[in-house]
């Protein structure tokens, strides 16, 4: 029986791997997700057949309550709120790992091997850091907490001390497992560490944090797998751990920052608050919606560069309406998506897909950067730092070295923006004052709606 | 768990990490959000441990902790897979 059970768990692990593989292409992604679902269902069913399970009442209660909340959340969540949802779900995963490890501790009987005890402590540590860290990330993304970094003197040393203390307590616990105090102190310290390690990270760096917490939630699941000696948890957790780490790295590269810099440097403000103006008066060319339409009428190609401001203004649907009208007029319309557009990896693609934009029109930075020079109009909506040319040449700037979209190579640059305020990086954007730039001041949704109305008439 | 099994499990863990790296590196940025919510649902595999803790509940405290774990992990699994499917459903090659 044990052999058959193990083989079914292996089948489940294989299906997880195939599922992730299929998630890698837009054509097969839905199937990939379905395969992963099947893998999970299989793992749950095999587990329910386990003879160690004596009582099903609590299990059924848990599954029903959990499913109801999960279904509700999945149906109700706005696509703009996906980062918050993923953040809090990461937290739930971590919390579950902590609870399972704690529950296993209370079910230990007789002498237990040191390696089991060590994995219990590790599982509680990672799970709890993931749990509280994710809640802080959620609170920042949801606007419950301010996005600005919160720092205190000696923060890094403090976090380092917590980790050292956890290791010492972990060793104490394995020496004398009957005494649960060290384990509970680890739990408390881990909860604190989750908070103190996420609060210094600014709102604009949230894509990195969510990716990292995603990785932690996988590692927490894997640690639980060690506790209960179950390979499907180890494999599933390892896959997620790896996936989260890769996304973390991609986000760091897209901002030209090291992970250490993101985690510890406390970069960023709430965005737009501080004026980075150097005091000198610079001229901008103002355009109205009418002027913009006239220019679009005479153009043959336009590349739209959407930023998070677009999503905040909920302008993606009307933008797609505009794009369709322009295409009907014979324009070639493409979208250029910077890797950190939006608030989590790939977020902008989802927001535009929701607005019915074909994914074949969505181009990633490297695929489109050479096209700007042959394009009549680069239309920037709600984006700032990702098109700021100082990233190329101003060495003392926080943006320096970040790969940007080459919008300034287009023949004309149109920017829809509420004001000349700075972006998350707090850096003034010389593109606003460029000769070929036309500024359309106003709310993204209002401005695009106006353009659509003029185009229609 | 004997040391042999422990070592064996560590092997599996490390090899699975490499499989993950190999597969995820190829995923285009277009799909990074669904990838993350989908992999998030996969991390809910902890539900297996939660079910065992709850069902085998040797003490009432262990059962209650297990029950809470089942609830959290199930939210993660069900919500994660469903919202991923909802997103992927929106990715269309051609507009209507």
Distance (Å) from the alpha carbon of A390 to chain B's nearest alpha carbon: 25
Nearest to B76 among A25, A92, A102 (CB): A92
CA distance A20 to A86: 17
Q: What is the pLDDT along chain B (96 residues), one digit of tens a residue?
A: 678 889 999 999 999 999 999 999 989 999 999 999 999 999 999 999 999 999 887 889 999 999 999 999 999 999 999 999 999 999 987 754
Q: Which residues pair with A286 in a beta bridge?
A: A439
What DSSP character marks residue A278? Answer: -
| Closest CB from A39, A65, A82 relative to B33 | A82
Q: What is the pLDDT of residue A280?
A: 55
- Give start and end residues of each alpha helix (H) in A26-151: 29-48, 57-76, 82-106, 114-142
Label the pairing between strands A362-364 and A377-381.
unpaired
Task: Report helix angle A114-142 to A82-106, nearest 10.
Answer: 150
Interchain CB contact of B88 with A (< 8 Å): yes
DSSP of A177-206, one letter per residue? TT--HHHHHHHHHHHHHHHHHHTTS-GGGH
- Chain B CB contacts of A79 below 8 Å: 87
Query: Given this model, what pLDDT does residue A259 score?
Result: 86
| pLDDT for residue A415 | 94
CB contact under 8 A, B82 and A77: no
Most A CBs within 10 Å, among B30, B38, B59, B96, to test the A interface: B30
- Whether chain A has a CB inside 8 Å of the CB on B60: the answer is no
The verdict on a CB contact (< 8 Å) between A74 and B94 is no
Are the beta carbons of A250 and B23 separated by less than 8 Å? no
Mutate to test the interface with A, among B49, B58, B86 (most CBs of A within 10 A): B49
Query: Which of the following is catalytic: A50, A176, A366, A385?
Result: A385
Query: Taking phi first (over 0 means left), then psi (-120 to 50 degrees means alpha), and beta for anything else, what does residue A296 get?
Result: alpha
Instruction: Please give the helix or strand (H or E) that residue A306 lies within, else none.
Output: strand A301-306
User: Given this model, what pLDDT does residue A269 score?
Assistant: 53
Does the CB of B94 have a partner CB in chain A at under 8 Å?
A: yes
pLDDT tens string A208-258: 999 999 999 999 999 999 999 999 999 999 999 999 999 999 999 888 888
A159: burial class by Cβ within 10 Å (0-12, 13-18, 19+)? middle
Q: Do B81 and A40 make contact, defined as CB atoms within 8 angstroms?
A: yes
Which residues in A lie closer than 8 A to residue B25 (C-beta atoms)?
246
- Cβ contact, residue pair A346, B31, below 8 Å: yes
Q: Yes or no: say if A302 and A296 are a contact pair by the CB < 8 Å rule.
A: yes
How many CB pairs below 8 A link A and B? 403
- pLDDT tens column, A342-374: 888 899 999 999 999 999 999 999 999 999 999
Among the partner residues A77, A93, A102, nearest to B43 by beta-carbon distance: A93
CA B41 – CA B37 distance, rounded (Å): 6
Return the pLDDT at A270: 47
Contact flag A357-B95 (C-beta cutoff 8 Å): yes
pLDDT score recorded for residue A168: 96
A268: region left, alpha or beta (phi > 0 left; psi from -120 to 50 alpha):
left
Q: What is the pTM of this model?
A: 0.91
pLDDT for B95 equals: 55
For residue A260, the cross-strand partners are none
B chain contacts of residue A92, beta-carbon cutoff 8 Å: 44, 72-73, 75-76
- Chain B CB contacts of A77 under 8 Å are 83
The predicted structure's pLDDT at residue A281: 62
In DSSP notation, B15-52 reads HHHHHHHHHHHTS-GGGHHHHHHHHHHHHGGGHHHHHH
From chain A, pick out residues whose CB is under 8 angstroms from the CB of B47: 40, 43-44, 96
**Residue in chain A nearest B76 by alpha carbon:** A89
Query: In this structure, how many other beta carbons lie within 10 angstroms of the beta carbon of residue A158?
Result: 14
CB-based contact A241:A215 (threshold 8 Å) = yes
Q: ipTM of this model?
A: 0.95
B4 touches chain A (CB under 8 A): no
Are the CB atoms for A397 and A391 separated by under 8 Å?
yes
Tell me which chain A residues have a C-beta less than 8 angstroms from the C-beta of B35. Answer: 20, 23-24, 243, 247, 345-346
Q: For this structure, is A385 an active site residue?
A: yes
Q: Where are the domains of chain A?
A: 77-264, 277-456
Q: How do the domains of chain B map onto residue ranges?
A: 2-90
B31 with A349: Cβ contact below 8 A:
yes
Per-10-residue mean pLDDT of chain A, 457 residues long, equals: 89 96 93 97 94 89 97 94 94 97 88 88 97 95 86 88 95 92 96 93 85 95 94 96 94 86 71 45 85 92 92 90 93 93 89 92 93 95 90 85 92 91 81 92 92 91
CB contact under 8 A, A364 and B30: yes
To test the contact with chain B by mutation, choose from A5, A15, A23 the residue with the greatest count of B C-beta atoms within 10 A, namely A23
Instruction: List all residues 6 or more positions away from B60 whose beta carbon is below 8 Å from its beta carbon.
Output: none
Cβ within 8 Å of residue A445, ≥6 positions away: A313, A314, A315, A318
Closest-CA distance, A449 to chain B, in angstroms, reads 20
The class that CATH gives domain A277-456 is alpha beta
Closest residue by Cα to residue A429 from A443, A444, A419: A419
């Amino acid at each position: 029986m044990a052999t058959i059970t193990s083989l079914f768990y292996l089948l489940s692990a294989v299906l997880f791997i195939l599922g992730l593989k299929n998630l890698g292409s837009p054509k097969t992604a839905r199937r990939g997700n379905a395969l992963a679902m099947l893998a999970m269902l299989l793992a749950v069913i095999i587990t329910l057949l386990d003879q160690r399970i004596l009582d099903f009442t609590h299990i059924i209660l848990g599954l029903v309550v959990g499913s109801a909340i999960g279904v509700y959340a999945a149906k109700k969540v706005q696509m703009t709120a996906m980062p918050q949802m993923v953040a809090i779900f990461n937290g739930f995963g971590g919390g579950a790992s902590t609870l399972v490890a704690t529950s296993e501790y209370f079910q230990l009987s007789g002498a237990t091997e040191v390696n089991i005890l060590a994995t219990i402590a590790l599982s509680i540590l990672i799970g709890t850091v993931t749990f509280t860290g994710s809640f802080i990330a959620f609170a920042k993304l949801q606007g419950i907490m301010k996005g600005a970094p919160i720092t205190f003197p000696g923060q890094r040393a403090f976090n380092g001390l917590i980790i050292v203390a956890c290791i010492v307590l972990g060793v104490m616990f394995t020496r004398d497992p009957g005494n649960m105090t060290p384990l509970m102190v680890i739990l408390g310290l881990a909860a604190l560490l989750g908070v103190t390690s996420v609060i210094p990270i600014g709102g604009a760096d949230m894509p990195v944090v969510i990716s990292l917490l995603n990785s932690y939630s996988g590692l927490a699941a894997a640690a639980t797998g060690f506790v209960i000696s179950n390979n499907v948890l180890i494999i599933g957790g390892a896959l997620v751990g790896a996936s989260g780490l890769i996304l973390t790295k991609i986000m760091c590269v897209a901002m030209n920052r090291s992970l250490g810099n993101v985690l510890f440097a406390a970069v960023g403000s709430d965005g737009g608050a501080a004026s980075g103006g150097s005091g000198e008066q610079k001229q901008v060319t103002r355009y109205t919606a009418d002027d913009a339409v006239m220019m679009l009428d005479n153009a043959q190609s336009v590349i739209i560069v959407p930023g998070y401001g677009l999503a905040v203004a909920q302008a993606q649907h009307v933008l797609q309406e505009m794009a369709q009208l322009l295409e009907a007029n014979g324009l070639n319309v493409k979208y250029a998506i910077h890797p950190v557009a939006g608030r989590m990896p790939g977020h902008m693609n989802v927001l535009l897909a929701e607005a019915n934009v074909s994914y074949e029109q969505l181009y990633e930075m490297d695929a489109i950067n050479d096209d700007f020079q042959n394009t009549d109009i680069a239309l920037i909506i709600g984006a700032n730092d990702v098109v700021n040319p100082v990233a190329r040449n101003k060495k003392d700037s926080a943006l320096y070295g970040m790969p940007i979209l080459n919008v300034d190579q287009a023949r004309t640059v149109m920017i829809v923006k509420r004001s000349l305020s700075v972006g998350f990086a707090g850096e003034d954007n010389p593109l606003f004052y460029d000769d070929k730039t036309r500024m359309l001041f106003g709310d993204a949704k209002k401005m695009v709606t106006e353009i659509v109305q003029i185009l229609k008439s | 768990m004997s040391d042999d099994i422990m070592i064996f499990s560590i092997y599996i863990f490390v090899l699975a990490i490499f499989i993950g790296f190999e597969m995820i590196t190829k995923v285009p940025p277009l799909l990074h959000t669904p990838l993350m919510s989908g992999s998030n649902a996969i991390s809910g595999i902890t539900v297996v441990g939660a079910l065992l803790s709850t069902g085998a509940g040797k003490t009432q405290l262990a059962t209650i902790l297990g029950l809470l774990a089942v609830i959290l992990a199930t939210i993660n699994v069900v919500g994660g897979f469903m919202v991923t499917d909802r997103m992927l459903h929106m990715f269309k090659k051609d507009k209507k």
